[in-house]
Structure 1
Amino acid sequence: MKRSFIREILESIDEETISFAGGLPSEKLFPIKDLQKASNKIMSQQKVFQYGLSNGIKQLRAKIAQEYTNDGFATNEDEILITTGSQQAMYIIAKYFESKDITIEAPSYLGAMNIFRLNHLNMKGIKLENDGVHISDFKKSFKETKLAYLIPDFQNPYTSTYSNKKREQIAKIVKKQNGILIEDSPYTQLFFDKKPNSISSQIPNNSFHLGSFSKTLVPSLRIGWIRASKELIDSLMIIKESIDLHSCGISQYILDEYLNDRKKYEKHLQDIRDDYKQKADYFCKMLDKHLPSFKYKKPKGGMFIYGGFENIDSFELVQKCIKQKVVFVPGNQFYINKQTNGEIRFNFTHSSFEDIKKGIKLIAKCL
Structure 2
Amino acid sequence: MSQEFTIEDCAAGVRNAKPSEVRKVFAMSAKPGMISFASGMPELSSLPMDSLADITEDLMRNRGMEVMQYGASTGTDHLKAQIIELMKLEGIENAKPEDIIVTTGSQCGLDILTRVLIDPEDVILAEAPSYSGAMAVFTGAQANVVHVGADHEGLIPEELEKTVEELKAQGRRIKFLYTIPSFQNPGGTMMPQERRDRVREICDANHILIAEDNPYGLLGFEGQVGRAMRADDDNVVYLGSFSKMFAPGLRVGWTLAPSSLSKILGLQAEAAVLNPSVFGQELVAEYLEKTDWQAVLNQYRELYGKRAQALMDVFDEFMPEGVTWTRPEGGFYSWITLPESVDSYELCMTCIDRGVVFVPGTAFYTDGRGTHEARVSFCHPTEEDIRKGAEIFATALKEAISG
Is TM more than 0.5 here?
Answer: yes
- 2:354 & 2:88 partners in 1: Cα distance? 49
1:112 aligned residue (117, 134, 148): 134
Matched, 1:289 2:317: yes
Paired position in structure 1 for 2:230: 200
Q: Mean alpha-carbon deviation: is it higher for 61-70 or for 216-225?
A: 61-70
Amino acid of the structure 2 residue aligned with 1:86: S
Deviation at 1:187, TM superposition (A): 0.4
Q: Mean alpha-carbon deviation: is it higher for 143-152 or for 66-75?
A: 66-75
- 2:353 & 2:258 partners in 1: Cα distance? 50
2:102 aligned residue (82, 89, 107): 82
Unaligned runs of 5+ in 1: none
Paired position in structure 2 for 1:236: 265
- 2:395 & 2:203 partners in 1: Cα distance? 47
- 2:294 & 2:88 partners in 1: Cα distance? 17
CA shift digits 1:323-345 (9 cap, x unpaired): 11210011122122223532111
Q: Secondary structure at the match of 1:226?
A: strand
Paired position in structure 1 for 2:381: 351
Matches of residues 207-286 of structure 1 in structure 2 within 5 Å?
Answer: 207-261=236-290, 264-286=292-314
Matched, 1:56 2:92: no
Unaligned runs of 5+ in 2: 1-16, 169-173, 398-403
Contact 1:104–1:126 (CA under 8 A) maintained in structure 2: yes
Deviation at 1:260, TM superposition (A): 1.2
Matches of residues 113-192 of structure 1 in structure 2 within 5 Å?
Answer: 113-142=135-164, 144=168, 145-192=174-221
Q: Secondary structure at the match of 1:126?
A: strand
Deviation at 1:164, TM superposition (A): 1.1
2:350 aligned residue (320, 324, 338): 320
Q: 1:142 to 1:261 in 2, by over 3 A?
A: farther
Deviation at 1:201, TM superposition (A): 1.4
Runs of 4+ in 1 over 4 A off after TM superposition: none
Amino acid of the structure 1 residue aligned with 2:394: A
CA shift digits 1:208-253 (9 cap, x unpaired): 1011010011110000100122321111011111111011111111
Amino acid of the structure 1 residue aligned with 2:111: Y
Q: 1:71 to 1:183 in 2, by over 3 A?
A: closer
Count of residue pairs brought into register by the alignment: 365
Amino acid of the structure 2 residue aligned with 1:47: E
The alignment yields a C-alpha RMSD, in angstroms, of: 1.6
Contact 1:142–1:148 (CA under 8 A) maintained in structure 2: no
Q: Secondary structure at the match of 1:181?
A: strand
Paired position in structure 1 for 2:46: 29
Deviation at 1:146, TM superposition (A): 4.5
Deviation at 1:119, TM superposition (A): 0.9
Contact 2:187–2:326 (CA under 8 A) maintained in structure 1: no
